[in-house]
């Protein structure tokens, strides 16, 4: 990669190594302190009974008891199922929407600066702001969504009081916020596809739909994989939107696993049990990422880091 | 014909994307009494009441200042330290580079939630809860890997000949870095700084967990915790949402190309 003009003598290599580590260490030290050390601590903490509301109990070691409690905890399984369902639905919609948006932006050759800015805006604004704006539009009884549906003659649900209907604004807000990001990733993928392939297909008389299925989709696969992987990992740890829009309610109908972990830790101050939940979130996310990369992503990632 | 069809699709999608923001801006200028009365696309009776209340009674300057300080400090630290680290990883040849890069990538995928509990205990032990450093340090967990990953990619694309010329002339690695590489690097540094600032400005979970009172709330936390006496103060909430969005929109307008390049070059989380 880096062709250095100097002879690769042993002493030179040693000084290069020393300098390399000296330059890299401050940043790596910070990462170690604020990320690596804490994740190990989370694991250690999860093996203890640690309740900040009951300091007199101390912090006894209880082995895997917190994990046993989690696995027999209905609220945990409910939150896990909610999160998986949310991630599945939201990421699917975002992928379809992002693909349409990317194709449109790609075709409209003069998608000007303002269009690109508009597309970036939902991605760039705070998630909390997006959630509040969508909650405002779905407020009952007189919010915009309710009003529009009534004018169309439908009977809208009381969105946030209904265990099923509450998902609609949640998913819509997430789709609105993150589809542009998916579209940008896919657009970058589209731009790498050689135009001459389409010209050849035109000559062969292949219609637009066949061209899409046989040229665009296969060649877009690396970008699609990266988009799915990042979106799925993100959707799996969804917190801001749920916290702001429903607080997990009504009851625990929309509680995500991250929200349950958060309330266990910072509302109930059960640090041992909450840490066990954190470790489970971490492990599931990690395994999903590994599986995703293994299954179809390895080549995509190699391309990107080259 | 087909081109016009795609132009129509684009226009519809852009309208769908912009509409919620338009609706929020209109609402932020609408008096409370009319907020939920007969919604209309064209605003009538615009007032500044909510903005006056926001910066008068609510003291929204405090969260804005807190957010600026925390996001600014995070950006400076992560671009400074991360930039140096990225240069070493991209350009110097030394043992252990590959595992270090993999480690940085792995850390960038950590769910924030999985380190909230130890960070809370650590910051409490250090008496850093509810302080600026108590937010900047946690923010470095996502800012530092992001910067390093972006800048490694950037430095690798710089033509090595210039540095080699510097080294030939007998300038040391550090002087070459300072006098030749740094002036060439500002596009990469700017992109990383913009992305880091945006992520820090928008961050919610750590700010919610590690601040204890309104004097240290960041903008997202302050907006979320707005309470009215009798009902949700929607007018003020949306005015605050607009205030939180304005700097972001300005950055996007100025730097959209750079942001898109940064987002799609490295494998960056959204």
What tens digit of pLDDT does each residue of B55-81 get?
888 889 999 999 999 999 999 999 999
pLDDT, position B228: 66
Residue A174 lies in a domain: yes
Could you give the number of structural domains in chain A? Answer: 1
CATH code of A171's domain: 1.10.3720.10
Residue A207 lies in a domain: yes
3-class secondary-structure state, position A51: strand
Residue B4 lies in a domain: yes
Inter-chain residue contact B114 with A121, CB threshold 8 Å: no
In this prediction, residues A195-218 reach a mean pLDDT of: 88
More confident residue, A22 or B169: A22
Q: Are B150 and B238 within one domain?
A: yes
Is the pLDDT at A24 greater than 70? The verdict is: yes
CATH code of B126's domain: 1.10.3720.10
Inter-chain residue contact A278 with B117, CB threshold 8 Å: yes
Is the pLDDT at A306 greater than 50? The verdict is: no
Q: Are B67 and B17 within one domain?
A: no
Q: Are B28 and B156 within one domain?
A: no
Rounded Cα–Cα distance for residues A238 and B260 (Å) = 23
Query: Domain residues for A106?
Result: 80-258
Query: Domain residues for B43?
Result: 1-47
pLDDT in tens, chain B (270 residues): 477 788 888 889 999 999 999 999 998 998 887 777 766 777 777 788 889 888 888 889 999 999 999 999 999 999 999 999 999 998 888 888 888 888 888 888 788 898 999 999 999 999 999 999 999 999 999 999 999 999 998 898 888 887 777 777 777 778 888 888 888 889 999 999 999 999 999 999 999 999 999 999 999 999 999 876 667 889 899 999 999 999 999 999 999 888 888 888 754 333
Residue B270 lies in a domain: no
Residue A130 lies in a domain: yes
pLDDT, position A3: 47
Q: Model pTM?
A: 0.91
Beta-carbon contacts of B205 under 8 Å, excluding residues fewer than 6 positions away, are A239, A240, A258, A262, B112, B113, B116
pLDDT, position A305: 40
**ipTM for this model:** 0.91
Best mutation target, B262, B269, B270, to test chain A (most A CBs within 10 A): B270
Identify the closest residue of chain B to A44 by CA–CA distance: B118
Report the run of H or E that residue A231 belongs to, with start and end.
helix A217-236
Q: Are B1 and B85 within one domain?
A: no
Q: Are B8 and B134 within one domain?
A: no
CB B113 within 8 A of CB A278: yes
Give the sign of the dihedral formed by CA A299, CA A300, CA A301, CA A306.
positive
pLDDT, position B250: 93
Q: Are B28 and B96 within one domain?
A: no
Rounded Cα–Cα distance for residues B123 and B137 (Å) = 9
Q: Spell out which residues of chain B touch residue A122, defining contact as CB-CB under 8 Å.
A: 17
Residue with tokens 């007199």: A56
Residue B189 lies in a domain: yes
Residue B122 lies in a domain: yes
Residue B52 lies in a domain: no
CB of A287 within 8 Å of a chain B CB? The answer is: no
Q: Are B96 and B172 within one domain?
A: yes
Inter-chain residue contact B205 with A39, CB threshold 8 Å: no
Comparing C-alpha atoms, which of A304, A302, A237 is closest to residue A82? A237
CB B153 within 8 A of CB B192: no
Q: What is the average pLDDT value for chain A, to the nearest integer?
A: 87
Residue B151 lies in a domain: yes
Least confident of A120-124, A282-286, B35-39, B102-106: B35-39
Inter-chain residue contact A124 with B114, CB threshold 8 Å: no
CB A246 within 8 A of CB A20: no
Beta bridge partners of A51: A270
Best mutation target, B63, B66, B76, B114, to test chain A (most A CBs within 10 A): B114
CB of B10 within 8 Å of a chain A CB? The answer is: yes
pLDDT, position A14: 77
Q: Are B192 and B171 within one domain?
A: yes
What tens digit of pLDDT does each residue of A136-154 get?
999 877 788 888 888 888 8
Number of residues written out for chain A: 306
Best mutation target, B117, B164, B269, to test chain A (most A CBs within 10 A): B117
pLDDT, position B56: 84
Could you give the number of structural domains in chain B? Answer: 2
Q: Are B129 and B252 within one domain?
A: yes
């Amino acid at each position: 990669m880096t062709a250095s003009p100097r002879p690769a003598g042993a002493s030179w290599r040693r000084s290069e190594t020393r300098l390399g580590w000296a330059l890299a260490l401050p940043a790596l030290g910070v990462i170690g302190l604020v990320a690596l050390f804490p994740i190990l601590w989370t694991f250690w903490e999860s093996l203890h009974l640690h309740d900040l509301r009951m300091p007199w109990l101390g912090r006894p070691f209880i082995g895997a008891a917190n994990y046993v409690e989690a696995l027999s905890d209905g609220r945990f399984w409910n939150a896990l199922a909610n999160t998986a369902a949310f991630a599945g639905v939201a990421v699917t919609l975002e992928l379809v929407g992002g693909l349409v948006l990317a194709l449109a932006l790609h075709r409209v050759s003069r998608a000007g600066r303002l269009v690109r800015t508009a597309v970036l805006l939902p991605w760039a604004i705070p998630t909390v702001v997006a959630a509040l704006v969508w909650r405002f539009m779905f407020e009952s009884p007189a919010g915009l969504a309710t009003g529009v549906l009534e004018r169309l003659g439908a009977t809208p649900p009381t969105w946030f009081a209904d265990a099923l209907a509450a998902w609609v604004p949640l998913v819509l807000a997430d789709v609105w916020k993150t589809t542009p990001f998916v579209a940008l990733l896919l657009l970058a993928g589209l731009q790498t596809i050689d135009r001459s392939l389409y010209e050849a297909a035109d000559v062969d008389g292949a219609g637009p739909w066949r061209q899409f299925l046989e040229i665009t989709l296969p060649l877009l696969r690396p970008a699609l994989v990266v988009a799915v992987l990042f979106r799925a990992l993100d959707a799996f740890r969804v917190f801001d939107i749920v916290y702001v829009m429903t607080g997990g309610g009504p009851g625990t109908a929309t509680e995500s696993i991250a929200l349950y972990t958060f309330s266990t830790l910072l509302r109930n101050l059960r640090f041992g049990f909450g840490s066990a939940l954190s470790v489970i979130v971490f492990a599931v996310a990690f395994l999903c990422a590994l599986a995703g990369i293994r299954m179809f992503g390895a080549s995509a990632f190699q391309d990107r880091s080259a | 014909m087909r081109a016009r069809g795609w132009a129509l699709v684009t226009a519809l999608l852009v309208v769908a994307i912009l509409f919620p923001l338009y609706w929020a801006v209109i609402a932020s200028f609408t008096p409370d009494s009319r907020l939920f009365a007969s919604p209309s696309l064209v605003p009538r009776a615009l007032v500044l009441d909510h903005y006056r209340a926001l910066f008068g009674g609510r003291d929204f300057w405090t969260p804005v200042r807190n957010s600026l300080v925390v996001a600014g400090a995070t950006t400076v630290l992560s671009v400074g330290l991360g930039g140096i680290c990225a240069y070493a990883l991209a350009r110097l040849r030394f043992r252990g580079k590959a595992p270090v890069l993999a480690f940085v990538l792995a850390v960038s995928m950590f769910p924030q939630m999985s380190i909230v509990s130890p960070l809370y205990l650590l910051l409490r032990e250090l008496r850093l809860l509810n302080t600026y450093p108590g937010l900047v340090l946690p923010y470095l967990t996502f800012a530092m890997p992001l910067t390093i990953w972006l800048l490694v990619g950037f430095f690798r694309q710089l033509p090595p000949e210039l540095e080699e010329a510097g080294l030939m002339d007998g300038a040391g690695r550090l002087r070459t870095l300072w006098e030749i590489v740094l002036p060439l690097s500002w596009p990469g540094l700017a992109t990383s700084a913009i992305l880091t600032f945006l992520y820090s400005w928008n961050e919610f979970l750590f700010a919610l967990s590690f601040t204890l009172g309104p004097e240290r709330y960041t903008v997202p936390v302050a907006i979320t915790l707005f309470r009215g006496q009798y009902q949700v103060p929607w007018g003020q909430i949306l005015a605050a949402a607009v205030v939180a969005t304005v700097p972001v929109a300005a950055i996007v307008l100025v730097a959209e190309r750079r942001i898109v390049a940064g987002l799609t070059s490295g494998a960056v989380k959204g």
